[in-house]
Amino acid sequence: MTNEIIEVPLTMRAAVYRGVNDVRVETIPVPEIGPGEVLVKIHTCGICGTDLKKIHTGSHDAPRVFGHEMAGTIVKVGEGVRGFIVGDRVMAYHHIPCGECYYCRKQTFAQCEVYKKVGCTAGFSPSGGGFAEYIRVMDWIVRRGLVKIPDEIPFEQAAFIEPVNTCYKAVRLLDLKADETVLVIGQGSIGILLAALAWQTGATVLTSDLYAERHAVAAKFGLHHPLDGNGDVVAAARAATDGRGADVALVAVGGNALIKLAMDAIRPGGRVMLFASTQHGEAPFDPAAVCMDEKTLMGSYSASVAIQDDVTRMVFEGYGNGFDLTNLISHRFSLEDAVAAIDLASHPQADSMKIVIQPGI
């Protein structure tokens, strides 16, 4: 244990969700920690689409502090913590499964009841808390979901570990082969991550988006088969595959209308992976395409503890070696400007990609 003491204030600033479409930057207490827990001062927290959906739909009661793509520095360590000291640079997963239940044994970790609990908070009901100056990381997260960041790795790179995990989980489920062609619909930051990870398998990757500016960012990750999302994407996918259609379509945008497009764009026997369809509803598709054409409709949600070490290594080793995720950051906002950051993230522009909040700027 270190003798270092970092002075922590009693209050902090946070972007507090107060109701549907109502986020306010307020002064709230710095959370207290208990045995086995740590307090982390946030350096960088990305804004995720799931944060935005919660804010705009009112799916969660208020007040809360959202934000879960986060990295920072430990400033307090609770009694009994092993392996971490004050001053350690870390990222924290906000969900970690129990490792023992039926779903964990089947490695369907996101369905574990413990996984569904949130283990990081800035106060109020635990909701990540990264849109604040400090977060409390609870004991089961400290034991299995707190990752040390090497000194040479920027906080901005490390803040991508959780979203990379979610994307890598989906790509692994597809079991891609080098002779396959993958269509990724949507080239926001998540779409580019999915496409880049698919490309690393050796597959040919077609990327579709409405904005040419996003294809320029995708090219930095080895993605050089852009399709104009304003055109006939199905025809373009077939033209690139001798008329068959793509082997796989990854839907990285939440619009249910894109499910039919994806099903039409794949060959008989192909697979469609839904990645961004996190809102309940109804989405019609042709059942005969599943039965007679033997097309498979799949889903992947959240992160997997089974691949944490692989993802950590990939993110850290990738920095400066073709997987510099800071290239995905288009806008950096101070915590005081968090409302503007959320508004921009909610209304994507041609030049907006990953938007991060950094309390220190």
Residue in 186, 236, 173 with CA at minimum distance from that of residue 215:
186
pLDDT at 284: 86
Residue in 167, 233, 152 with CA at minimum distance from that of residue 200:
167
Element (H, E) at 14: strand 11-19
- Residues in Cβ contact with 235 at an 8 Å cutoff, skipping those fewer than 6 apart: none
Residue in 110, 223, 88, 92 with CA at minimum distance from that of residue 159:
92
Q: What is the pLDDT of residues 283-301, one digit of tens each?
A: 888 999 999 999 999 999 9
What secondary structure does DSSP assign to 312-357, as a single string?
HHHHHHHTTTT--GGGGEEEEE-GGGHHHHHHHHHS--TT--EEEE
Q: Write down the residue that tokens 């060959």 correspond to.
A: 267
pLDDT at 279: 87
Instruction: Indicate the SS3 state at residue 272.
Output: strand
> How remote is the C-alpha of 85 from its chain's centroid?
27
pLDDT at 249: 98
Element (H, E) at 73: strand 69-77
**And the tokens for 316?**
């850290």
Cis status, amide bond into 226, omega within 30 of 0:
no
| Regions of the chain where pLDDT drops below 50 | 1-3
Tell me how far apart the alpha carbons of residues 162 and 166 are, in angstroms, rounded to a whole number.
7
Angle at which helices 189-199 and 212-219 pack, to 10 degrees?
A: 40
**And the tokens for 212?**
């040419």
- Cα Rg for the chain, rounded, in angstroms? 21
pLDDT at 1: 45
Tell me how far apart the alpha carbons of residues 234 and 236 are, in angstroms, rounded to a whole number.
5
Tell me how far apart the alpha carbons of residues 28 and 211 are, in angstroms, rounded to a whole number.
39
3-class secondary structure per residue, 223-268: CCCEEECCCCHHHHHHHCCCCCCEEEEEECCCCCHHHHHHHHHEEE
Residue 27 class from Cβ within 10 Å (0-12 exposed, 13-18 middle, 19+ buried)? exposed
Contact 163, 190 (CB under 8 A): yes
Q: What is the pLDDT of residues 51-63, one digit of tens each?
A: 999 999 999 999 9
- Pairing mode of beta strands 296-299, 266-274: parallel
Which pTM does this prediction carry? 0.97
**And the tokens for 115?**
């996984």
Give the burial string for 337-358 (b: 16+ CB within 10 Å, else e). bbeebbebbbebeeebbbbbbb
CB atoms within 10 A of CB 9: 9
Give the burial string for 303-322 (b: 16+ CB within 10 Å, else e). bbbebbeebbebbbebbeee
Please report the domains of the chain, with CATH numbers, ordered by start residue: 11-154+319-357 (3.90.180.10), 173-299 (3.40.50.720)
